[in-house]
Structure 1
C-alpha cells in the first residue's frame, strides 16, 4: 500500500514577500514569546517540531504516521485536514507537521477564550480579557493578509514587527495575571495559605478571649469592693462590740472532732456567705456543722469577713470560724516553699489556693474535714461525706475523666523525666471543689511533705502550670484518692451551658468552676438563679452597694 502523502503548511501570501531570514526571525520570536505567555505544555512540542527538520522514516519498519496540514487563514483562523489527496504548493516552503502536533498558538488563544466561556467564570472581566486577546490576534492576522498584495519596505516591516511585539507584551501581562484562574495548584496553595492565616487569627482570638475571661474572673466587682469597705467601716466604728463577739478558735465547739467540719479558703465575702447559707439550709442537723473560713492576711479581707458573720450568723446553731493566714504561725517561708516563692515575687501563685495542702497542721485536733470552694452551692445534706468509706485513702473526690479526656496527661508535663517516672498519663483526673480528707491518714502518709517535694521540683514551672492548684493535688494524692459517686459534685456551671438539668437537680453540690462566676455580669443566666437564691438579701449593705440579685 502506498505511503500517505504529506500535507503542507501554506503561509499567508504576505510572508512570501518577506526575506527568508527576517521571516524566520519574526516567526520564531513571535511563537516563542507566545508559548511563554500561555505556559502550555502542549505548545512546546509544536515549537520543537517546527524548528527540527523532518524525520526520514522511509527506512523504518514502523508504520508511517499520518500527517496534518494547517492552513493559516484570517477568515478561518486555523484549519486542519487529514485528507492525503491535497496537492502540494510548489511556490511555498513546506514544513512537515506530524499528527502529534497541536494547533497553532492563535488557536490556543481561541481555546482559552472558549474555555473561559464554558467555565462560566465568576468574573466577567476575565472573560472579556480573553475575548479581547483573541480579537487582537485576529486583527493582526487580518492586517497581514490585507497587506499581502503590496510589497512592504523595511520601515513597514519594522512597524509591523513593533506592533506584534507590543501585542505580545500585552498578552504576556494579561495572561500572567489571569493564570490563577486556570492553575489548580496555585489555587490549592492559595487556599492553604488562607486557611493557615485564618487559623492563626482564630488562635489569637481564642487567646485574647481566654485572657479577657481570666481578667474578668479575677477582678473584684465594684459592688463587692463597696461591700468590703462598708463592712470595714462598720468595724472601725464599733471595734469593741465586734471584738467581744469574736469566738475563741480553740473553743470546744470549734475543734470538736465529732462535728462536721468544713474548710473554705477565700476573701470573697458574698461568695462564702452563699456557701455557708446553702449548706446550713440543706443540712438535717445544722448545729453540728462548723465552717472554718481562712482569708488573706490583708486586714480588710479578714475584718470584713468577720463583720459579715458577726452581723449575719448562720441559722439553727451552725458556727463559723474566720481566721487570717497570719494567725497560723507555722506558715512561713522556711517551712512552706509556696510562701517562699510568693514572698520572692512570684505573681502566678495564689497563696489562698495552696493553703489546702496544710489542713492537718491548721486543724490538728480534727480527724476528717470537707473542703468546699467558694464558688459552690450545696443542695443536699453533706453529713454523708463524713461517713463515707475512703478505704484507707486520704482524699475522696469525684473523677472528671471520660474517654481520653481529662487524664493526667492534660495537667502534667510528661515530657519531663520527673513526671514520666512517677505518673501514668492515662490516670483519671479528679476535681477540687468538694473533697473529703481523712486527716489521720494524711498525717500517716506525710502528704504535705510530698507536696513540698513536688513544689520544689516545679519551682521553674516545668512540671505543670503553677497558676492552677489542681495539678499539684493530682501529683500529691496520686495513689491516695478514692473516687466518690458523681452526684456528690456536679461541675461546669461556670463555663458549660449544656449541663444536664437532671444532673443539677440530683447533685449534692453544684460547682460554678470556670470564669463565668455567678456574682459576675458574665455569668450564665440559666444557672445564676441557683446561686442568687441563697444570697442573704436582708443584709442591709447589699442595696447600698447596688447588688443586682
Structure 2
C-alpha cells in the first residue's frame, strides 16, 4: 500500500500555487481599480458610483445618462476652447506686425513707392491680370502672392492689389517694399487712402452697423441658450468669430467702387494657397453672369462644395421659405472671378443693402452672421458655375472631407473655417501645403520666432 501524504503537505502543495496566482493577479487588479477611480473623477459624481457601474454591469440607467451628459459637456467645452483659440492673434504674428511697422518708421526703403513709378500704369491697365486681396494679415498675404507667382506661367502679367486697414498699412507696405515679388507688381493701399464719396461712405457705415447687429443678436442668443447636444450647435460657434464683423471682410461688396478703373479681377481670400496657373480665369466666359464661383462639388450628387442654404438662412421665416430651397448649394466665396464692368450695370449692391435693411426690420432673424448670406441673395441668378477643381474649401475645419487626390488636383485650396494654417490649431497634415510658401529664414520671421 502507498503511504498517504500528510495533511500539512497537502495544504502546502495547494496554498503555494494560489499564492503565486494572487501575486500575479493582484497588481493588475490594483491598476484596474486605480484607472477606474481616475476615470470616474470626470465622468461620475463619485468614484464609487463609477466603479459600481463598470464592475457590476451598469444596471443603473440614470447613472449611465449622467455619464453621457458629462461626456457631452466635456466635448462641448473642448469645442468652445478650440473655437476661442481661433479668434486670437498669435504672439509671433503680432510681433511681426510691430517689427515691420517699426521698420517703416526708421527705414526709407520700407517706405519706398509700391509699385515703382515705372510700373504705376499697370495698376489700371486691363491687359494685365489683376488679383485683389482684402486683408490685415501680412504673413497670409505673403503666402497668397508668393504661391500665385510661383505657379504662374507668366508672372510678369500679374498685378496684385492688397487693400488693408489703417493700422496694418505700414507693416503691410513695409513687407512688400523690402520683399520684392519677382516680375509681378504689388500695390498696397490702406482704406484711409481712399477718397470715399459721401454717399458710399454712409452706405459702408450703415452696412457694417447692420452686420454688427446681426452678429450681436446671434451672440446674445447663444449666450442665453443651454446647449445640450454638441452636434447641433458646434458650427454656431464659428459665427461668433470677430471676422464676421470685420470691415475688410464685408467690403468685398464694394469692390467695383474700390477699383473703378478695372474691368475684370480675380478675388482671393487671405487663407488660400494657389497651386496652379490662374491665367485662364481672366479669359473665362461668364456667359453674361457677374461672378464665377464653384457651385457644384467634387464629392458627387447631393454634396455641396460649401454649405446648403439651410445652414445660412432661417427657413421658418415665410419670406425666405418662399424664395429659396433649403437644400440648395451656396456658392463658394474666396476664389472668384468678378466682371466689374458688368457689375456696375446692375443693382447688386443696392439689393444687398435693401436686404440688410429688411433683415434689420424683421428682427435680425433672416440669416446667420457673415458676408455670404446677403450675397447669395444679391447675386442670385448672376453666378456662373466654374469647375470644382478650381477651388477646394473647408480645410480649416477639424474633420475636412477632402481626399488627397482632390487636394493635389485643386488650383486653389482654401483654409476656410476656424483652423487657419498660421494658428496652432491648424491641421498638421494640411499645414505643410501652406508653410512651404513661407520663407522661414527671413530676418523678421526669425526675430518673431515664426517657425515651421
Q: Which TM class, normalised by the smaller chain length?
A: 0.7 to 0.9
- Structure 1 spans left out of the alignment, 5+ residues: 1-186
Alignment CA distance shift 1:248-1:211 (3 Å)? farther
- Taking the aligned partners of 1:498 and 1:370, their CA distance within structure 2 comes to 26
Name 2:40's counterpart in structure 1: none
Q: Say whether the 8 Å CA contact 2:115–2:185 is kept in structure 1.
A: no
Which of 299, 302, 308 in structure 1 is aligned with 2:169?
302
Which of 516, 519, 526 in structure 1 is aligned with 2:422?
519
1:356-376 CA-to-partner distances (Å, cap 9, x unmatched) read 111111111111111111111
Name 2:382's counterpart in structure 1: 480
- Structure 2 spans left out of the alignment, 5+ residues: 1-58, 217-241
Secondary structure at the counterpart of residue 396 of structure 1? strand
Question: What TM-score do you get using the length of structure 2 for normalisation?
Answer: 0.72
Which of 317, 322, 325 in structure 2 is aligned with 1:416?
317
Asked which structure has the greater RCO (Cα within 8 Å, sep 6+), the reply is 2
Which of 197, 202, 221 in structure 2 is aligned with 1:333?
202
Is 2:443 aligned against 1:535? no
The count of aligned residue pairs is 355
Q: How does 1:142-221 map to 2 (within 5 A)?
A: 191=61, 197=66, 200-201=69-70, 204-221=73-90
Is 2:183 aligned against 1:284? no
- Taking the aligned partners of 2:316 and 2:65, their CA distance within structure 1 comes to 27
1:457-509 CA-to-partner distances (Å, cap 9, x unmatched) read 2334311112x222222222221111110110112222235521111111111
- Taking the aligned partners of 2:98 and 2:406, their CA distance within structure 1 comes to 38
Secondary structure at the counterpart of residue 257 of structure 2? helix
Alignment CA distance shift 1:540-1:197 (3 Å)? same
414-423 or 389-398, larger mean C-alpha shift: 414-423
Which of 340, 361, 386 in structure 1 is aligned with 2:282?
386
- Taking the aligned partners of 2:411 and 2:286, their CA distance within structure 1 comes to 18
Is 2:331 aligned against 1:426? no
Alignment CA distance shift 1:387-1:194 (3 Å)? farther
Q: Say whether the 8 Å CA contact 1:497–1:524 is kept in structure 2.
A: no
1:103-135 CA-to-partner distances (Å, cap 9, x unmatched) read xxxxxxxxxxxxxxxxxxxxxxxxxxxxxxxxx
Alignment CA distance shift 1:395-1:519 (3 Å)? same
Which of 435, 457, 464 in structure 1 is aligned with 2:336?
435
Is 2:255 aligned against 1:359? yes
Alignment CA distance shift 1:201-1:387 (3 Å)? farther
- Give the helix-richer structure, 1 or 2: 2
Name 1:224's counterpart in structure 2: 93
Q: Say whether the 8 Å CA contact 2:130–2:160 is kept in structure 1.
A: yes
Q: Say whether the 8 Å CA contact 2:296–2:385 is kept in structure 1.
A: no
Which of 371, 375, 396 in structure 2 is aligned with 1:469?
371
Q: Say whether the 8 Å CA contact 1:337–1:455 is kept in structure 2.
A: no
Question: What TM-score do you get using the length of structure 1 for normalisation?
Answer: 0.60
